[in-house]
Structure 1
Amino acid sequence: MKNNVQLITYIDRLTGSDTKTLNNILNDQLADLFSGIHLLPFYYPIDGSDAGFDPIDHTQVDSRLGNWNDIKALGEGHELMADLIVNHMSAKSKEFQSVLQYGKESPYWDLFLTKDKVFPGGLSKSDADKIYRPRPGSCFTNFALPNNESADFWTTFTDNQIDIDITSDKGKEYLIRILKTFSENNIKMIRLDAAGYALKKAGTSCFMLDETFEFIDELSKAANDLGIETLVEIHSYYQTQIEIAQRVDRVYDFALPPLVLHSIFTKDFSALTKWLNISPKNCITVLDTHDGIGIIDVGPMNGKPGLLSNDEIDNLVKTIHVNSAGESQKATGAAASNVDLYQVNCTYYDALGQSDFDYLVARAIQFFAPGTPQVYYAGLLAEKNAMELLSKSNVGRDINRPYLDSAGIEAALKKPFTKAMIELIQLRNNCTAFNGEFSIVSEKSTLKMSWKNKQQSIRLMVDLVENIAHIEINEDNSSRIISLNNLLNLS
């Protein structure tokens, strides 16, 4: 993977159309900005109960977006990442429909996970209380089978997302078949979606077990053998991310987004600096994604202190709600069918009160943090909360999943922030100092982030009290200073 800025996007929600249109946009309006593209689920169907994360057929491109040849063509100009949804598939899949029709006689019976497979002696209240679940209600759904029988199937997320038995031969064959399809169509990296929930074991939380790490290791090796890198997507305690990073190609830095917000809100870089001194270097950095802004990633867990205290997290969440004029509250917690507050659903731009300066500073910090940066399509264009879409769908995360088109992109590209953002992206892509050594120093409200590679160096300096920020670049025996304030025409 190139150490350049990448784009995260849905095909249809950015283009209003299909894969060929996305390719045209990337080669025209967004030309030379992104070395890689994380294509959010484009499998059949893209409009299920979870925006493509509940595939009926994981190896079929939704025909409304094109076909595998279109994906392959897109991959000729950009490194492509796709989601491997390891935990579940749609209840409408032919495989699960076969189970409903034939029960245990179905050739796909072993592909799915039932309660009895994990708890053959029955599920005790003690074991039930230990299971970690991010959604309210039971993690099982009862389905009727032939001959007046029924079975409780694991449905970690929704009753339309049937959990796969990844330990079975059928489960392993299923995942390998997807990997081979990806390999044949220019997919260079996979994002292991919901991997933390994939392994269930009686008497445990059924989340991020020792056996889960073993599963990730095996699947990563299988992907590597096909020329595919792996990115693990897990929201958990920050030390867990450090452990995972030692065992996979890439891991997300999910602690960065809330820490950047906390720093700007409190004018104190201490927590961010502590994290960036110990954070994994083989990471993908984000500020926003198709999901919400993670909170669990910086909080305490099981009596162990977090990067932020509970009081600091409360203040962080309240400030987001205030900055977004209460819009984030309409899309978060119970409004998003979450059992606890582990994510806040809001655009990052609205979380920062639509302040162009604060948002540009946040992006500069992301680009200077260790790792390869990814920029979400709505974040690239500084989109505001999609309240109309939220009111129509009643899906909390839709607040940050707008539908755009070429005209909307054209209008957004004329905004002062977007122009400044593009300059930052080009700077991050073209400066070789980012391939060198990283250092960070802060004194509460001031921050210095530096990269040095042989004779090349680049430094970001931020002062949150004076509201100024600039970048110093030294290369080819010359130096220059770029003011973020000037980029926004604020000085």
Structure 2
Amino acid sequence: MINNKVQLITYADRITGQGIDELSNLLNGPLKDVFAGVHLLPFYNPIDGSDAGFDPIDHSEVDSRLGSWQDIQALGANYDLMADLIVNHVSAQSYQFKDVLAKGKESEFWDLFLTKDDVFPNGMSETEQKAIYRPRPGSCFTPIKCGDGNTYDFWTTFTDNQIDINVKSLAGIEYLNNVLTKFSENNVNIIRLDAAGYAIKQAGTNCFMLDETFAYLDKLSAQANDLGMETIAEIHSHYQTQVEVAKRVNMVYDFALPPLILHSLFSNNADALVDWLAISPRNCLTVLDTHDGIGIIDAGPMGEKPGLLDAEQIDNLVETIHEKSKGQSRLATGAAASNVDLYQVNCTYYNALGADDFDYLLARAIQFFAPGIPQVYYGGLFACENDMDLLANTNVGRDINRPYLSAADIDKALAKPVVNGLIKLIKLRNEHPAFNGEFNVKGEGTSCCLNWHKDESSIELKVNFASREVLIIDQHDNEQVLISLADFIA
């Protein structure tokens, strides 16, 4: 059973400059009793591929620069530990795909990878190709010539270095089963199903979140549950899709929450946020920032489906982020900085709020009072600003929010009032008994109230966006305490 307490999202190498042991020392030292769980971002070989570990050469091997499976075991012995099952693809540098490159269809690993012919054996029409949903510009096929002299169109949903797995083939099933087993043997108790919405492709569809995909997620979740692990689906899509996915897996992400909180803070209007919190999945993880950008599609319209925000509100939201970040996010978003994500704005959440300490803590307070288990990204924990030097060095848009922090950087951050205030909020969320009870939300216009109650205990967040008057009303042990959010950074 996952602890209903705040978790940390982090890379092992970017938070300490070292590895898994050093991360454990940080969690057991300066961050002792702050986090109950850790989402350890890809630690597979290699951590420094073209997609920061999400393009594994060997998904079942820990990059030796970070440590070993024994280090993973030790971390998981003390914390809920989440790892990524990269369902959709494998690196083009993997030994399996190199064998395919050398031998073509004669390779023993041929069936591991998905080609256009696997889905469209009778050819693909232009209409069918246009119907395929891809989160990045261009074709989802990469023609590659193999050693047998033939050129094959391999399915590459994300980049040409990430070759899609044929998850229906015996080879694909065995590959993912091997990784699941490795996780279960090493104290990983939460599986994040990365890019799972793209795993099933079918001719004549958009090849994203099909009925068959839901069935696949059911089966994959059951497998993980049988091994003692819970699953969370990582899917950026229309909000109604998240509601449906939540019924099929143990947990989903509330990706609509980050843009809705920004919208409320920018517009001083809580209506969209209140509407969403009234219907949002309760079996979710909440985030404001992650290793990816700030998702926009999750709150907006999709095709004929209206969103939680309309197109004009989404445009205003994106432009306000660019303005608040003094144009820095614009340099890492859209077509800038080799960026390929069509549905995200690359920016730290702190800079998206103009580096305003109070607004940042207010955003975190709303996150912690929303339904779900909160996760805090390491850059957000330390209120990091956009890393423009790293962005300039790599020309990778998402690196604006993926800083490398030394021990000295962390010590400096821990002295900042906003970071201390955030840690106090985290401990309040971890310790108050009412957060294990029932949730209610009400409000309209400039104000909203988020309330939790369990037995004789309750806690409420009252927000007036127009005046920025924010109170926490804490009731337990027959005592009521009023706390101003401003006191957290006094």
TM-score by length of 1: 0.98
- Contact 2:12–2:40 under 8 Å retained in 1: yes
The structure-2 alpha-carbon separation of the partners of 1:262 and 1:91, relative to structure 1 and needing over 3 Å to count, comes to same
Gaps of 5+ in 2: none
Task: Tell me what 2:164 maps to.
Answer: 163
- More off after superposition, 478-487 vs 180-189: 478-487
The structure-2 alpha-carbon separation of the partners of 1:262 and 1:450, relative to structure 1 and needing over 3 Å to count, comes to same
Distance (whole Å) between structure 1 residues aligned to residue 203 and residue 425 of structure 2: 49
| Cα shift at 1:422 | 0.6
What letter corresponds to residue 237 of structure 1 in structure 2? H
| Cα shift at 1:341 | 3.9
Local SS of the residue matching 1:76: helix
Q: Is 1:280 paired with 2:292? A: no
Distance (whole Å) between structure 2 residues aligned to residue 49 and residue 341 of structure 1: 18
| Cα shift at 1:336 | 5.5
| Cα shift at 1:147 | 3.2
Distance (whole Å) between structure 2 residues aligned to residue 430 and residue 147 of structure 1: 62
- Contact 2:136–2:342 under 8 Å retained in 1: no
Task: Tell me what 2:137 maps to.
Answer: 136
Task: Tell me what 1:70 maps to.
Answer: 71
Task: Tell me what 1:11 maps to.
Answer: 12
| Cα shift at 1:10 | 0.4
- Contact 1:135–1:337 under 8 Å retained in 2: no
Distance (whole Å) between structure 2 residues aligned to residue 287 and residue 340 of structure 1: 18
Distance (whole Å) between structure 2 residues aligned to residue 98 and residue 214 of structure 1: 31
Distance (whole Å) between structure 1 residues aligned to residue 411 and residue 340 of structure 2: 39
Distance (whole Å) between structure 1 residues aligned to residue 418 and residue 369 of structure 2: 18
Gaps of 5+ in 1: none
Task: Tell me what 1:148 maps to.
Answer: 149
Over the matched positions of the two proteins, sequence identity in percent amounts to: 62
- Contact 1:295–1:341 under 8 Å retained in 2: no
| Cα shift at 1:303 | 0.9
Distance (whole Å) between structure 1 residues aligned to residue 417 and residue 210 of structure 2: 47
Local SS of the residue matching 1:179: helix
- Contact 1:136–1:337 under 8 Å retained in 2: no
Give CA deviations for 1:386-438 in whole Å, capped at 9, x if unaligned. Answer: 11000111110001000002111111011000010010000000001001111
What letter corresponds to residue 356 of structure 2 in structure 1? S
Give CA deviations for 1:15-48 in whole Å, capped at 9, x if unaligned. Answer: 1101100000000011011100000000000000
| Cα shift at 1:340 | 6.8
| Cα shift at 1:337 | 4.8
The structure-2 alpha-carbon separation of the partners of 1:151 and 1:223, relative to structure 1 and needing over 3 Å to count, comes to same
Task: Tell me what 2:470 maps to.
Answer: 469
Q: Is 1:396 paired with 2:397? A: yes
Local SS of the residue matching 1:317: helix
- Contact 1:134–1:338 under 8 Å retained in 2: no
Q: Is 1:201 paired with 2:241? A: no
Task: Tell me what 1:252 maps to.
Answer: 253
Local SS of the residue matching 2:52: coil
Give CA deviations for 1:190-236 in whole Å, capped at 9, x if unaligned. Answer: 10000011111111111111111111111111100000100000000
| Cα shift at 1:302 | 2.0
| Cα shift at 1:443 | 3.0
Task: Tell me what 2:303 maps to.
Answer: 302
Q: How many residues align?
A: 489
What letter corresponds to residue 255 of structure 1 in structure 2? A
Distance (whole Å) between structure 2 residues aligned to residue 182 and residue 31 of structure 1: 25
| Cα shift at 1:356 | 0.4
Distance (whole Å) between structure 2 residues aligned to residue 247 and residue 487 of structure 1: 39
- Contact 1:136–1:338 under 8 Å retained in 2: no
Local SS of the residue matching 1:75: helix
Local SS of the residue matching 2:453: strand
Superposed CA RMSD in Å reads: 0.9
Task: Tell me what 1:93 maps to.
Answer: 94
Task: Tell me what 1:52 maps to.
Answer: 53
Local SS of the residue matching 1:319: helix
Distance (whole Å) between structure 2 residues aligned to residue 485 and residue 244 of structure 1: 38
Task: Tell me what 2:294 maps to.
Answer: 293
- More off after superposition, 20-29 vs 479-488: 479-488
Task: Tell me what 2:234 maps to.
Answer: 233
What letter corresponds to residue 13 of structure 1 in structure 2? R
Q: Is 1:386 paired with 2:395? A: no
Task: Tell me what 1:418 maps to.
Answer: 419
- More off after superposition, 459-468 vs 358-367: 459-468
Task: Tell me what 2:217 maps to.
Answer: 216
- Contact 1:153–1:163 under 8 Å retained in 2: yes
Task: Tell me what 2:480 maps to.
Answer: 479
Give CA deviations for 1:268-295 in whole Å, capped at 9, x if unaligned. Answer: 0000000000000000000000011111
Local SS of the residue matching 1:146: coil
| Cα shift at 1:76 | 1.1
The structure-2 alpha-carbon separation of the partners of 1:173 and 1:196, relative to structure 1 and needing over 3 Å to count, comes to same
- Contact 1:238–1:306 under 8 Å retained in 2: yes
What letter corresponds to residue 421 of structure 2 in structure 1? A
What letter corresponds to residue 268 of structure 1 in structure 2? N
Task: Tell me what 1:113 maps to.
Answer: 114
Q: Is 1:2 paired with 2:3? A: yes
| Cα shift at 1:338 | 5.5
What letter corresponds to residue 60 of structure 1 in structure 2? E
What letter corresponds to residue 422 of structure 1 in structure 2? I
- More off after superposition, 264-273 vs 142-151: 142-151
What letter corresponds to residue 155 of structure 2 in structure 1? W
Local SS of the residue matching 1:222: helix
- Contact 1:4–1:429 under 8 Å retained in 2: yes
Distance (whole Å) between structure 2 residues aligned to residue 427 and residue 339 of structure 1: 38
Task: Tell me what 2:175 maps to.
Answer: 174
Local SS of the residue matching 1:308: coil
| Cα shift at 1:163 | 0.4
Q: Is 1:333 paired with 2:314? A: no
- Contact 2:114–2:166 under 8 Å retained in 1: yes
Local SS of the residue matching 2:404: coil
Distance (whole Å) between structure 1 residues aligned to residue 148 and residue 173 of structure 2: 29
What letter corresponds to residue 238 of structure 2 in structure 1? Y
Task: Tell me what 1:263 maps to.
Answer: 264
Distance (whole Å) between structure 1 residues aligned to residue 134 and residue 425 of structure 2: 39
| Cα shift at 1:167 | 0.4
Distance (whole Å) between structure 1 residues aligned to residue 340 and residue 379 of structure 2: 26
What letter corresponds to residue 87 of structure 2 in structure 1? V
Give CA deviations for 1:131-184 in whole Å, capped at 9, x if unaligned. Answer: 111112211111111232121100111111000000001000000000000000
What letter corresponds to residue 153 of structure 2 in structure 1? D
- Contact 2:103–2:148 under 8 Å retained in 1: no
- More off after superposition, 221-230 vs 138-147: 138-147
Local SS of the residue matching 2:304: coil
Distance (whole Å) between structure 1 residues aligned to residue 15 and residue 248 of structure 2: 34
| Cα shift at 1:477 | 1.0
Distance (whole Å) between structure 1 residues aligned to residue 210 and residue 243 of structure 2: 15
Local SS of the residue matching 1:452: strand
